[in-house]
Structure 1
């Protein structure tokens, strides 16, 4: 039997002392062995589920992941014969959790796959359950964004968060910071919205005493305050064009001069930017510098709109209600939830929070019903909302096509759509 093979036994013995939770699988999805780290984190009563199918243990599926609508790393590793990595939601003793799964095929002397080593790392930057802080979500579009975040966070690469207003760009920026090697340093947020050229310069770079009228003392700029941590430029598309060259110099060299000063200040920070504006189009229009765009967009992450992750509505609503009111929190009736699912949410999660904040004030018995929701979230609005949502979805798809370089199947996964749905929408665009 495979589990008696000397090489497999040696591998299991070696993995027992690995700090990463690890299991060994045969080619028929059976769990042959699990190390101590796995038994502590994922085992029931610290017991390994030996002999059970991995998809049944992790997902409670009766069939392999790829037959249940998931990306299956085993199927991929079987075909590629190289390590494959995906983000899954696994059932654990603590409930559903996001898990980074890496599967490594074990080959015999003839190059045939004889077993797999699966390493599982809990993702703590987001939750698949309601929690008091941070990101929550389970929908495919959310998992796609989270998988990108998980890859980018530990590095120093500049990240550009792109998404509509209200999609949680600041929460994503905080998650990137907390997942980086700079997590113990400061996260400094620069809101670029509505700042004039002079105000932006004084806020970002600081100023010396007497630099201008009202400068009664020296002020440290936000770029200097971010030293050793992360500088988050929120709505970077709003930065005045004359200031973009100075911002580019800061990003490239980490150096700047405070307003009214001759001294050069150096700051070591990791850059995260965010915008809801189409920067690529702005570059073509001459309203955003091309060199700055390519400097900040080394790792773009698309943040899905709420209409792209409707399946997350119950989870988001429960989380937001708990954050607003504490325990015991109000709950949504099924009728109210169904009515919310038909709404287009142009304001995204920010709009959902406002709706729930208002509704819970009317829910005297702790249950939010349809009559507690705003009047514009009603069946009469349904037709208008659907048409507006279709137009917005098609516009977003056209923009995604412009910036995406992968295959159509990869684009479908990126947008959290099935390939059939993507095909229908491309047909609607005449593509």
Structure 2
């Protein structure tokens, strides 16, 4: 096989093989130009126009240079270096908008052993998106590097049978990630059964998990299947697995290792074909060291651990999440008009640490929507929503506190500070404080001894609330 140029057509046998593949595939040469796209690709990614002759990066990313020259991980460049199949996760432009796509690229070599063509399989991940596109979005949303790194691990492990352990703070979306693992697996058509381990007392845990036979205890008038049997063929999600009692852990270990269990009061050995995804916010390794969690069960559950990043680590995702959550809130409340955030309101949300993560953000968004009578949620509405929630230091900054330069830049003189805290600051004096202030408005509010809500209301009265106009 001669090494192709940009105009060398691929062998007809290769094109025929490409068409037989049920998954979307494209074929391109060493110059990144697409030479062929199979029927599955055309249906899903290019139903209206041909992509043949265009470069892969122009089609997928709308850019003029290869991915690795635009800050992305380029599978072709990686395959050239490694000489092997490479797999990456990309955010692609599709007819339905931006979508996460898992790419598996395989180099095809010529007679001299050099890469001649590249064949690329593409699989969209419907459980995740990089934009807030209305109320239909109910899955994972984000674009930050931390989010994409987590999502890439989900895409890699989902098609396998490996047990997955989700680690992360409360409110980071562990159940959504578990659902994404399930929906990306061959078991997607079977049930995903959720076990809330934290809510089950020890006396009921075994019965809920494994079921019981007639006469197993007072009131057991007939046999009852447990959650394990309900998950047969699908996925069993053990949420807050660190709360499973030690007495149950050994029976769960038997299920994971042999696929067998017994109902309470039964002698018959039953089998369950299922995959286990577990999640916890606890430090399981410390619990193992303290004897509160079995070591063998820990290793059986953590075949493929995935850490979920906290919201404060996901730079830029707060805006996407807030917009998507607001669309859902407005849809659920059946408001006649679409609510939007003012730019200053989004900026204020981005300053918060959100120890409750996405769950806390959702509460703040819903609270701010209820406080807003118009169509635009302002920074004052957000400040009011934050104050009504979990008490936190003024500003709720992501870091421990302002830098020394910020402290100096926002400090009014002693007399002005005293007047501010007594509530006697005039409009002219407030303007002077604003003129001297070089940092964030949250820091100015703290220096004046005011809440952010009070400051934004005073600014609105002055006509100085950025990007949001006067308060109603």
How does the TM-score come out when normalised to structure 1?
A: 0.82
What's 2:18 paired with?
A: 15
Alpha-carbon shift at residue 74 of structure 1 (Å)? 1.1
Distance 1:283 1:117 in 2: 46
What's 2:363 paired with?
A: 354
What's 2:67 paired with?
A: 65
What's 1:55 paired with?
A: 57
Which residues in structure 2 correspond to 1:203-218 (within 5 Å)? 203-213=208-218, 215=220, 218=223
Matching residue within 305, 319, 343 for 1:334: 343
What's 2:375 paired with?
A: 366
Distance 2:114 2:226 in 1: 59
8 Å CA contact retained: 2:352, 2:397? no
Matching residue within 282, 304, 310 for 1:305: 310
Check 1:288–1:366 CA distance in 2 against 1; reply closer, same or farther (3 A cut).
same
SS at match of 1:271: strand
Deviation per CA, 1:65-109: give whole Å up to 9, x if none.
112221111110111121211010111121111111122223222
Are 2:290 and 1:319 equivalent residues in the alignment?
Answer: no
8 Å CA contact retained: 1:3, 1:9? no
Matching residue within 180, 189, 192 for 1:184: 189
SS at match of 2:287: helix
Matched residues, number: 389
Matching residue within 262, 269, 279 for 1:257: 262
What's 1:108 paired with?
A: 110
What's 2:394 paired with?
A: 381
The runs of 5 or more residues in structure 1 that have no matched partner are 390-431
What's 1:267 paired with?
A: 272
8 Å CA contact retained: 2:87, 2:102? yes
What's 2:36 paired with?
A: 33
8 Å CA contact retained: 2:319, 2:350? no
8 Å CA contact retained: 1:233, 1:272? yes
What's 1:278 paired with?
A: 283
Larger radius of gyration: 2
Alpha-carbon shift at residue 170 of structure 1 (Å)? 0.9
Alpha-carbon shift at residue 10 of structure 1 (Å)? 4.3
Check 1:364–1:384 CA distance in 2 against 1; reply closer, same or farther (3 A cut).
closer
Deviation per CA, 1:244-301: give whole Å up to 9, x if none.
1122122222333333334433322211111111112221222111000011111111
Are 2:163 and 1:158 equivalent residues in the alignment?
Answer: yes
The runs of 5 or more residues in structure 2 that have no matched partner are 403-472
8 Å CA contact retained: 2:195, 2:238? yes
What's 2:84 paired with?
A: 82
8 Å CA contact retained: 2:351, 2:397? no
Alpha-carbon shift at residue 380 of structure 1 (Å)? 6.5
Tell me whether 118-127 or 232-241 shows the greater mean CA deviation: 118-127
Alpha-carbon shift at residue 32 of structure 1 (Å)? 3.3
8 Å CA contact retained: 2:25, 2:119? yes
Deviation per CA, 1:143-166: give whole Å up to 9, x if none.
222222222222221111111111
How does the TM-score come out when normalised to structure 2?
A: 0.75
Distance 1:286 1:123 in 2: 39
Higher RCO, 1 vs 2 (CA within 8 Å, ≥6 residues apart): 1
Deviation per CA, 1:277-334: give whole Å up to 9, x if none.
1112221222111000011111111112112223222222222222223165422111
What's 1:43 paired with?
A: 46
Alpha-carbon shift at residue 186 of structure 1 (Å)? 2.2
SS at match of 1:202: helix
Alpha-carbon shift at residue 201 of structure 1 (Å)? 1.7
Check 1:388–1:349 CA distance in 2 against 1; reply closer, same or farther (3 A cut).
farther
What's 2:458 paired with?
A: none
Distance 1:155 1:227 in 2: 17
What's 1:222 paired with?
A: 227
What's 2:5 paired with?
A: 2
Tell me whether 203-212 or 285-294 shows the greater mean CA deviation: 203-212
Distance 2:56 2:7 in 1: 20
8 Å CA contact retained: 1:360, 1:366? no
Distance 2:16 2:255 in 1: 51
Distance 2:116 2:364 in 1: 54
Distance 2:290 2:232 in 1: 34
8 Å CA contact retained: 1:190, 1:232? yes
Alpha-carbon shift at residue 216 of structure 1 (Å)? 5.4
Distance 1:43 1:6 in 2: 21
